[in-house]
Amino acid sequence: MNKHKLTMNEFIEIVNKKLDEYLIIQYPEDLFKSMRYTVLLPGKRLRPVMCLETCQMLGGDFQDAIPTACAIEMLHAQTLIHDDLPCMDNDDFRRGQPTNHKKFGESTAVLAGDALLTFAPQIILKFSQNLTPETQLKILNEYVQYAGAYGVIAGQVVDIESEGGKIQSNKEETLKYIHIHKTSDLFKLSIRTGAIIAGADTEKLSILTNFAEKLGLAFQIADDILDETATFETLGKTPGKDKNAGKLTYVSLHGIDNAKCKLTCLFNECYDILKQYEIESQVFTDIIEGIKQRVKI
């Protein structure tokens, strides 16, 4: 029997429905409203979709991965809330709407971010009862590894340190470090957990980690390009902010043309990996082609 494979839009719909369900407003209402606000802003839901699709394309039951996929989107929202704070990137708009602290005030935004950081693994623990305890622990291990001081937060710290042209040596290495941790780590978390839930072996896990790293790097380079070339309407946030802050980006280091060239290479490498290991995925193709279209390559 040829089982129907879910499309990107079908996955997005599932994720949106579940996120809404998981984030019921309770007392203190402002806290839950603030958590919901950023999590439920319309978005591409790339990370949860990657988690569900990885599980699906490896022959697993994507239903088992829904709590984890949604937890990763919550974690992603947490990074956005705290990144946008006045003491960080100081952004007023996100996905075309006022940022969390603009809407709810700074103290609530800090606490909503904190709350999401533990709410996310709580969703995994609460709704993954059909996974074995060992698999649940594996998933949680991935979560703390990529969400924490060795993961996305390390990337954010170095990103902020790079502002104002403060990085003078090893720029190339520092940039790669920032991109790997700030962006690829959440892609790795999404793809690896999807694979673990599908029962992938160590070899497949390692191949997919490599794939996730490249896809994350590509995504971040695309983001760097769009920061310089897109309008507020396309971005949903203020463009040109990285440049004005003197941040280390792929574009500031190599220029737009080289960035587009690197992006094409990375996407080709991603396709090669899938092809080499005979992994067929319309969803990942759609994700990659979607980014290509946005940056016009």
Contact positions vs a second copy (CB under 8 A): 26-28, 30-32, 35, 78, 82, 85, 87-88, 105-108, 110-111, 113-115, 117-119, 121-122, 125, 133-134, 136-137, 140-141, 143-145, 147-150, 153-154, 156-158, 160-161
Residue closer to a second copy, measured from CB, 43 or 113: 113
Q: What is the smallest separation between the CB atom of 100 and a second copy, expressed in angstroms?
A: 12
Residue closer to a second copy, measured from CB, 8 or 115: 115
Residue closer to a second copy, measured from CB, 146 or 211: 146
Q: Residue 160's closest CA among 211, 220, 87, 232?
A: 87
CB 116 within 8 A of CB 75: yes
CB 252 within 8 A of CB 243: yes
Other beta carbons within 10 Å of 218: 27
Helix, strand, coil share (%) of the chain residues, nearest 5: 75, 0, 25
Distance between CA atoms of residues 143 and 103, nearest Å: 28
Q: What is the smallest separation between the CB atom of 57 and a second copy, expressed in angstroms?
A: 28
Q: What is the smallest separation between the CB atom of 200 and a second copy, expressed in angstroms?
A: 20
Name 55's Cβ contacts closer than 8 Å, sequence gap at least 6.
61, 62, 64, 65, 194, 195, 197, 198
Other beta carbons within 10 Å of 118: 9
Among left, alpha and beta (phi > 0; psi -120 to 50; other), residue 194 is: alpha
State the DSSP code for 236.
S
Residue closer to a second copy, measured from CB, 32 or 271: 32
Q: Helix (H) and strand (E) counts for the chain?
A: 15, 2
Q: What is the smallest separation between the CB atom of 112 and a second copy, expressed in angstroms?
A: 8
Distance between CA atoms of residues 21 and 86, nearest Å: 30
Residue closer to a second copy, measured from CB, 74 or 259: 74
Residue closer to a second copy, measured from CB, 106 or 172: 106
Distance between CA atoms of residues 255 and 246, nearest Å: 14
Residue closer to a second copy, measured from CB, 32 or 93: 32
Q: What is the smallest separation between the CB atom of 185 and a second copy, expressed in angstroms?
A: 12
Q: What is the smallest separation between the CB atom of 199 and a second copy, expressed in angstroms?
A: 17
Q: What is the smallest separation between the CB atom of 154 and a second copy, expressed in angstroms?
A: 6
